[in-house]
């Protein structure tokens, strides 16, 4: 994990209006490990320096007003492009006329993803020069950002300045109760400011949150449509009930449950590496080697369960805007039931394997949700499904050249019974061959 570090020292204010701006003027530097992402080239002096000069008030205000988004709003390709996600997650939008770098902050669950890139600011006559990315521990991120905001708030108090938006916002955040935190996280996950939500929307969020099993609440709000919240939660609850009422008894899966949770993957910062490792271990345990699991029959045989029993445990659900790709619940016999929203056989089997991982890796019988959200857990189960269905050992055996084209990828996809996209990503991510675009 990388280390995020805010460094600053108070200096005499420049000619700036506003008491809160003058009180918090500072030399400011943001470091990620040894990289000063605030490094600039200043046009006026033709110099390069690692820090910038500005009031820290707007920086702290942006962090405080976006606190719940920065810690609880996950990126989702189905809706990120149509909302203000970037405004809430890129520090440059908190500049208020001053020079700030483009530092993108995206929560992933236990980690926070940071990304920065060069940025020219002609109006301020400076250019930020650094490019890079890093992962930081989410808990440590909250501590570091809290300390920074708290220091700026204290500076305002020492200067006799009160009643600012920053002070009020940070007071609301720090005094939030545990129950209120659940609401704030759910609201932010939907892209709604918890302190600006209408009474009706707040009631909906609370009602829906209370109705769902706690194990899937975060995943649901990460993908739900705020305008269809009640409809989508009803669809989800119906799918949970039906999957939990299935009459199948998948004995071999019950015997396998928990085995993946007891496996210790190699230390890695990336969840997909863990997903690959878990898939290889399960294939090894089932003695599958490179056997393609390219149909429901082949998959059930590989898992040592009767295909008719698997079909009894497998439901196809129709949901609005695909709130989830798949879910897994457990019936009275402790056997899993799966609900899949994909109609196409190949993508349905991929979603099923993602849900299978959630069942096999968890020690409890709590339901789990598989979604499009870009969280560490969803990346992990995607990687597991890709490696379980398209093992790299088999790919390396089949690909004898240093490059492959789209026709070969399509043929491999047919062999393994997956989409061409899955095969392409396996080839790229494992650096098996170079993909030639015709």
Distance CA 264, CA 260 (A): 8
CA distance from start to end of the chain: 39
pTM for this prediction: 0.91
Residue 358: both structure tokens together = 């959630």
Strands 102-107, 4-10: pairing is unpaired
Contact criterion met (CB below 8 Å) for 221 and 232: no
Nearest to 373 by CA among 354, 349, 392: 354
132-137: strand order across its sheet:
102-107, 111-117, 132-137
Angstrom distances, CA of residue 84 to CA of 94, 97, 314, 371, 384: 13, 19, 37, 21, 32
Residue 93: both structure tokens together = 């939008």
Residue 61: both structure tokens together = 């205000």
Residues 6+ apart with CB under 8 A from 427: 395, 399, 404, 409, 433, 435
Distance CA 302, CA 283 (A): 9
Q: How many other CB atoms sit within 10 Å of the CB of residue 401?
A: 10
Residue 52 pairs in a beta bridge with: 28
Distance CA 124, CA 58 (A): 16
Residues 6+ apart with CB under 8 A from 396: 432
Q: How many other CB atoms sit within 10 Å of the CB of residue 273?
A: 16
| pLDDT, tens digit, 9 for 90 and up, residues 76-118 | 887 655 568 999 999 999 999 999 999 999 999 999 999 999 9
Distance CA 303, CA 250 (A): 10
Give the per-residue pLDDT at 110: 93
Distance CA 108, CA 325 (A): 18
Distance CA 11, CA 27 (A): 7
368-370: strand order across its sheet:
314-316, 336-340, 326-330, 368-370
Residues of the chain with pLDDT under 70: 15, 45, 79-83, 269, 320-321, 438
Give the per-residue pLDDT at 320: 67
Domain residues of the chain, as ranges? Answer: 4-189, 200-389, 390-438
The DSSP 8-state label assigned to residue 402 in this structure reads S
Give the per-residue pLDDT at 83: 67
| pLDDT, tens digit, 9 for 90 and up, residues 325-360 | 999 999 999 999 999 998 789 999 999 999 999 999
Angstrom distances, CA of residue 107 to CA of 20, 115, 141, 185: 30, 12, 10, 12
């Amino acid at each position: 994990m990388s280390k995020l570090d805010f460094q600053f020292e108070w200096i005499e204010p420049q000619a700036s209006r506003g008491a809160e701006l003058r009180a918090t003027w500072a030399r400011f530097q943001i470091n990620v490990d040894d990289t000063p992402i605030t490094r600039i080239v200043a046009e006026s002096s033709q110099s390069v320096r690692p820090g910038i000069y500005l009031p820290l008030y707007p920086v702290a205000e942006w962090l405080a007003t976006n606190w719940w988004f920065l810690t609880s709003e996950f990126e989702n390709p189905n809706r990120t492009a149509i909302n203000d996600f970037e405004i809430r997650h890129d520090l440059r939008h908190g500049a208020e006329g001053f020079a700030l770098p483009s530092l993108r902050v995206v929560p992933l669950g236990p980690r926070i993803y940071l990304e920065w890139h060069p940025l020219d600011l002609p109006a301020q006559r400076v250019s930020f020069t650094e490019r890079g990315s890093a992962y930081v521990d989410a808990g440590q991120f909250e501590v570091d950002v809290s300390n920074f905001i708290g220091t700026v708030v204290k500076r305002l108090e020492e200067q006799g300045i009160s009643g600012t938006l920053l002070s009020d916002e940070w007071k609301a955040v720090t005094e939030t109760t545990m129950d209120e935190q659940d609401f704030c996280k759910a609201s932010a996950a939907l892209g709604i400011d918890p302190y600006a939500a209408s009474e009706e929307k707040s009631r909906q969020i609370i009602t829906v949150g209370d109705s769902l099993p706690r194990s899937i609440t975060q995943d649901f709000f990460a993908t739900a449509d705020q305008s269809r919240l009640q409809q989508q939660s009803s669809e989800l609850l119906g799918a949970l009930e039906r999957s939990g009422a299935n009459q199948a008894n998948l004995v071999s899966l019950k015997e396998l449950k928990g085995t993946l949770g007891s496996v210790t993957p190699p230390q890695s910062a990336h969840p997909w590496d863990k997903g690959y490792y878990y898939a290889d271990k399960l294939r090894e345990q089932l003695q599958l080697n490179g056997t393609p699991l390219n149909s429901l029959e082949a998959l059930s045989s590989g898992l040592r369960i009767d295909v008719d029993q698997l079909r009894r445990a497998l439901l196809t659900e129709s949901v609005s805007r695909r709130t989830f790709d798949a879910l897994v619940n457990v019936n009275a016999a402790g056997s899993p039931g799966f609900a899949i929203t994909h109609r196409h056989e190949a993508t349905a089997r991929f979603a099923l394997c993602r849900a299978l991982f959630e069942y096999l890796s968890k020690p409890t019988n709590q339901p789990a949700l598989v979604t499009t959200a870009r969280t560490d857990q969803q990346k992990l189960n995607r990687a597991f499904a890709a490696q379980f269905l398209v093992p790299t050992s088999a790919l390396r055996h089949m690909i004898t050249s240093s490059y492959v084209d789209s026709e070969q990828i399509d043929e491999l996809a047919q062999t393994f019974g997956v989409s061409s996209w899955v095969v392409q990503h396996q080839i790229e991510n494992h650096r098996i061959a170079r993909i030639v675009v015709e």
